[in-house]
Homo-oligomer: A and B are copies of this chain.
Amino acid sequence: MAPTVTQDAVLSDAQIADLAQQLRVDSVRAADAAGSGHPTSSMSAAELIAVLLARHLHYDFRHPELPGNDHLIFSKGHASPLLYAAYKAAGAISDDELLTFRKLGSRLEGHPTPKIPWVDVATGSLGQGLPIGVGVALAGARLDHLPYRTWVLCGDSELAEGSVWEAFEHAGMEGLDNLTVMIDVNRLGQRGPTRHGWDLDAYARRIRAFGWHTIEIDGHDVQAVDEAMTAARDNRGAPTAIIARTRKGRGVAAVEDKEGKHGKPLPDAEEAIRELGGMRSLRVHVQEPEQAAEPKRPADDPDARLPRYDKGGSVATRTAFGEALAAFGGLRGDIVALDGEVGDSTKAGLFGEAHPERYIECYIAEQELIGTAVGLGVRGWTPYASTFAAFLTRAHDFLRMAAVSRSDLNVVGTHAGVAIGEDGPSQMALEDLAMTRSLHGSTVLYPCDANQTVQLITAMAERTGISYLRATRGNTPVIYGPGDAFPIGGSKVLRSGPDDQVTLIGAGVTVHEALAAADMLAEEGVKARVIDLYSIKPVDAKTLREAAEATGRFVTVEDHHPEGGLADAVLESFGNGHPMPLLTRLAVHSMPGSATPREQLDAAGIGATAIAAAARKLAAA
């Protein structure tokens, strides 16, 4: 067994090589104890991580909250054994804990998550670490003005993901010289050889074309890795990619550079450990960050005023979103806004005009939009990311992973539903409620009025998890006063009486259709209750149950496909034995074409006339 190195020692090249072997041994041991995991993908990057820990990372494991700490993101999250082995070498976890890898209750999961205090974001869906790393680096360079560096470890396979190229483009154009990506080119993906194998230059050419500095090295040569990291730190004006030729399963002949060895423990762990030179118990002293580093945050302006709209006016909820966010950005210096090159339409551009230094233009790259927002959130900023609701589907996997990351993220999708009119189905979000409701721990809001939008936009910032607000393109009547309250999880009963026969439930644009339908019905003597269900998740079960008891009949109406949206949310209230009302669900069943907003609502059968007809029939049932 090699000698234990004390915390203060500076490791020589030979000792770092030894440390790399220890990281391999511990990766093998962790996967062996678990009976699963990715030791071979860990072994290829051992020198990269050993050199980083020993010479370049600045991080205080006792105080992960320090603003000056560097950030290390394992984009190739399946190499988690290597990360956990590094934590052990840094003295952050014990050997006993290392061996809880992948076991029930252990924070050392198959892929890293922020259950671990030193993990910024969950990884394991490939191609997400770099987009998020861009957000973290951007916060340091442009917002926090802090000297920390962001280091991202990528695999070679994941460079096939377009999201990675969105990130290369964004970081290159921003000139983020505080960002380094280390690409572990071990030539073998899960199924077999990657597209480019060991053609390092194929990667370098592409990445350089996007404005990055690139360095190609032998990733098992400690000195070469060290020099590359030094060069990356010294390079100014552009981010650096260290493209390292490595061998998967390096150091163990039974698996080294062999196909079919991905994602499984080594066939003979004991023999492998012997081959790697046996157990070691090296401790590495990771350099501390600048303790006094403090982020620069714009001051809150308590005199800023949220917009107020006059009842009886007509304002688009997207406009109210933009105006509210711009004002909210005055009230709170931690608010940042990001948009996908449609800020003139989403109205996020109004925030950009008021607070240009806190407005991030992400161009038409929705994965990078959400990834950057998550990265800014890592540094404690409160992000609002917006684009057309339809195009948020582009970032579904990033939203899914943001939930695993326990990210507090505000997302606004405008131009929802058929109500946009002439542009046609490619621009219509008709699946966004299903998508956002299904995200773990999410909040889903859908205002029908400008004052309601203002309240909900500010309330989102107080929620944990992913909060989504759906906004409408066209003007809708202002039916609430600026002082009205709209608690998340609540609803508004807009019409009700003791002898209501049916309840009409809408949100957003369909609230106004439901009100018009109630007027039509009233003329015929049919009494309809009307509920504005602006909080789709969590849903106001109490009010819905009361309405079910009182009327026994529901008509739900939504500008969304029938599956996964408002009607399904309503029915949630009737789980666990609560008797359900009779229900007619109106939604967009057909494929829309082009037409005016009014024609669209009628063609889809979610306009006032259709609602009244459905209610009339149900009330008579």
A582 touches B577 (CB 8 A): yes
Min C-beta distance of A177 to chain B, whole Å: 19
Min C-beta distance of A111 to chain B, whole Å: 5
Task: Please indicate the chain B residues that have their CB under 8 angstroms from the CB of A236 in the complex.
Answer: none
Q: A191-B343, A563-B437, A572-B562 are in contact. Are A113 and B431 (CB under 8 A)?
A: no
Q: Roughly how many angstroms separate A583 CA and B579 CA in the complex, as a whole number?
A: 8
Contact with B along A110-141 (1 / 0, CB 8 A): 11010100000011111100000000000000
Q: Is A105 an interface residue (CB 8 A)?
A: yes
Q: Is A206 an interface residue (CB 8 A)?
A: yes
From B158, B424, B430, A110 is in contact (CB under 8 Å) with B424
Binds B, one of A3-11, A480-488, A588-596: A588-596
A160 touches B434 (CB 8 A): no
- Nearest B residue to A204 via CB reads B209
Report the copy number of this chain in the oligomer. Answer: 2
The A551-572 residues at the B interface (CB cut-off 8 A) are 561-565, 567-569, 571-572
Q: Is A331 an interface residue (CB 8 A)?
A: no
Q: Is A549 an interface residue (CB 8 A)?
A: no
A206 touches B210 (CB 8 A): yes
Binds B, one of A45-53, A300-308, A389-397: A389-397
Contact with B along A364-391 (1 / 0, CB 8 A): 1111100000000000000000000011
Q: Is A173 an interface residue (CB 8 A)?
A: yes
The A431-459 residues at the B interface (CB cut-off 8 A) are 431, 434-435, 437-441
Q: Roughly how many angstroms separate A126 CA and B431 CA in the complex, as a whole number?
A: 18
Q: Is A205 an interface residue (CB 8 A)?
A: yes
Binds B, one of A87-95, A161-169, A224-232, A250-258: A161-169
Q: Is A618 an interface residue (CB 8 A)?
A: yes
From B123, B157, B421, A364 is in contact (CB under 8 Å) with B157
Q: A427-B110, A563-B564 are in contact. Are A364 and B189 (CB under 8 A)?
A: yes
Q: A109-B424, A110-B427 are in contact. Are A564 and B564 (CB under 8 A)?
A: yes
Size band of the A side of the interface? 35 or more
Q: Is A299 an interface residue (CB 8 A)?
A: no
Q: Is A297 an interface residue (CB 8 A)?
A: no
Task: Please indicate the chain B residues that have their CB under 8 angstroms from the CB of A104 in the complex.
Answer: 593-596, 599, 603
- Nearest B residue to A420 via CB reads B110
Min C-beta distance of A127 to chain B, whole Å: 7
Min C-beta distance of A173 to chain B, whole Å: 6
Min C-beta distance of A206 to chain B, whole Å: 4
A394 touches B397 (CB 8 A): yes
From B421, B425, B435, A438 is in contact (CB under 8 Å) with B435
Contact with B along A606-621 (1 / 0, CB 8 A): 0000000000001001
From B106, B208, B365, B438, A594 is in contact (CB under 8 Å) with B106
Q: A563-B568, A576-B584 are in contact. Are A404 and B594 (CB under 8 A)?
A: no
- Nearest B residue to A344 via CB reads B191
Min C-beta distance of A557 to chain B, whole Å: 13
Contact with B along A464-506 (1 / 0, CB 8 A): 0000000000000000000000000000000000000000000
Q: Is A61 an interface residue (CB 8 A)?
A: no
Task: Please indicate the chain B residues that have their CB under 8 angstroms from the CB of A580 in the complex.
Answer: 574, 579-581, 583
From B341, B435, B441, A431 is in contact (CB under 8 Å) with B435
Q: Is A342 an interface residue (CB 8 A)?
A: yes
Q: Is A34 an interface residue (CB 8 A)?
A: yes
B195 touches A345 (CB 8 A): no
B127 touches A364 (CB 8 A): yes
A564 touches B437 (CB 8 A): yes
Q: Is A575 an interface residue (CB 8 A)?
A: yes
Q: Is A349 an interface residue (CB 8 A)?
A: yes
The A328-376 residues at the B interface (CB cut-off 8 A) are 339, 341-345, 349, 361, 363-368
Taking A160-B363, A577-B583 as given, write out 6 further A-B residue pairs in contact, using a Cβ cutoff of 8 Å, ordered by the A residue number. A106-B593, A124-B423, A162-B163, A190-B345, A404-B591, A438-B565
28 A/B residue pairs, CB under 8 Å, sorted by A: A104-B596, A106-B593, A106-B594, A107-B593, A109-B593, A110-B427, A124-B423, A160-B363, A162-B162, A162-B164, A162-B165, A162-B365, A162-B367, A173-B195, A189-B341, A190-B344, A195-B363, A208-B209, A209-B209, A393-B396, A394-B397, A396-B435, A401-B426, A403-B591, A431-B439, A434-B564, A564-B564, A568-B568
Q: Tell me the A residues contacting B by CB distance below 8 Å.
A: 34-37, 77, 101-111, 113, 115, 122-127, 157-158, 160-166, 169, 173, 189-192, 194-195, 205-206, 208-210, 260, 339, 341-345, 349, 361, 363-368, 390-391, 393-394, 396-397, 400-401, 403-404, 421-427, 430-431, 434-435, 437-441, 537, 561-565, 567-569, 571-572, 574-585, 591, 593-596, 599, 603, 618, 621
- In the A-B complex, the 10 residue pairs with the closest CB atoms: A162-B162, A124-B426, A580-B580, A564-B564, A434-B438, A104-B595, A165-B165, A160-B363, A396-B396, A393-B396
